[in-house]
Amino acid sequence: MTVHIGAKKGDFAETVLMPGDPYRAKWAAETFLSDVRLVNEVRGMLGFTGTWNGHRVSIQGSGMGMPSLSIYANELIRDFDAQTLIRIGSCGGMQPSVKVRDVIIAMTATSVTTPSSTIFRDVNFAPTADWTLLRNAVAAAEAQGITPHVGGIYSSDTFYDERPDLNEQMVRHGVLGVEMEAAELYTVAARFNRRALAVLTVSDHLQTGEALPSEDRERSFGEMVEIALAAAFA
């Protein structure tokens, strides 16, 4: 048990999927896992453990933004010995070639700042995904008939961003999409020598203004869960 996770030793599996929304964690656990049980509900941030194809898996909500994600990633690693952490969530598309409903598998995650920034001081650390997970995720997506976008994303620390000039530079430098958590997840995982990946669905687009209807989001989210599970246990 930790300050933010009210579970016991052994309640969490070594592989943890991390959606931001705790109710998406509940939906994913009930939809894709067998023998599911609730292992955390502190502050309403739900966590579940079950099995997928005979493998133990946990799904824990992370909340919105890098500070919240950092709390759960640190505690899952340090206190519950999580070895593989995969973010599954939505993002905003930034490139014209990236369409709403597309899947992005994040190789790198650029940020202005993260909760870990003060550790590095003068160094601009480059947060990257685990190569094996990334390779497995691409293969899993293609096996589903999905051609994912693979490359860099931008992890923003603000949702209501008033820096159009910054977004323009992200687009100019080939950034595929924007979300709010992956850069810190990759950094924390690197610190503890663990595996991390972010698999994202494009729910809206910064250039076109198009947005995925709410009724379609669950189906697209399911594709991400399947890709993440296959990548973890390939």
What residue segments make up the domains of the chain, in order of their start? 15-233
218 has a pLDDT exceeding 70: no
Tell me the C-alpha to C-alpha distance, in Å, between residue 25 and each of 62, 89, 114, 217: 9, 10, 24, 14
**90 marked as binding residue:** yes
Instruction: Pull the structure tokens for residue 90.
Output: 């939505």
User: Which of these, 105, 89, 87, 85, lies nearest to 176 by C-alpha position?
Assistant: 105
- Options 3.30.1370.100, 3.30.420.40, 3.40.50.1580, 3.40.50.300; CATH of 15-233: 3.40.50.1580
Q: Is 180 annotated as a binding residue?
A: yes
Catalytic residue among 11, 21, 35, 204: 204
Question: Annotated binding residue at 204?
Answer: yes
Model confidence over 53-100: pLDDT tens digits?
Answer: 999 999 999 999 999 999 999 999 999 999 999 999 999 999 999 999
Please say if 122 is a catalytic residue. no
Q: What is the pLDDT of residue 220?
A: 72
Residue 104 pLDDT > 80: yes
* CA atoms of 5 and 144, how far apart (whole Å): 34
HEC readout, 44-69: HCCEEEEEECCEEEEEECCCCCHHHH
Confidence label for 221 from pLDDT (cuts 50, 70 and 90): confident
Flag whether pLDDT at 219 surpasses 70.
Answer: no
Residue 179 marked in a binding site: yes
Q: What is the mean pLDDT of residues 39-51?
A: 97
pTM recorded for the entire structure:
0.96
Say whether 1 counts as a known binding-site residue.
Answer: no
170 is in an annotated binding site: no
The reply to whether 151 sits in an annotated binding site is no
Residues sharing a CB contact under 8 Å with residue 165, sequence separation 6 or more, in sequence order: none
Cβ-based neighbour number of residue 183 at 10 Å: 32
Q: Is 220 annotated as a binding residue?
A: no
Q: Residue 114's closest CA among 168, 54, 195, 191?
A: 191
- The pLDDT tens digits of the residues spanning 126-173 come to 999 999 999 999 999 999 999 999 999 999 999 898 888 999 999 999
pLDDT at 53: 97
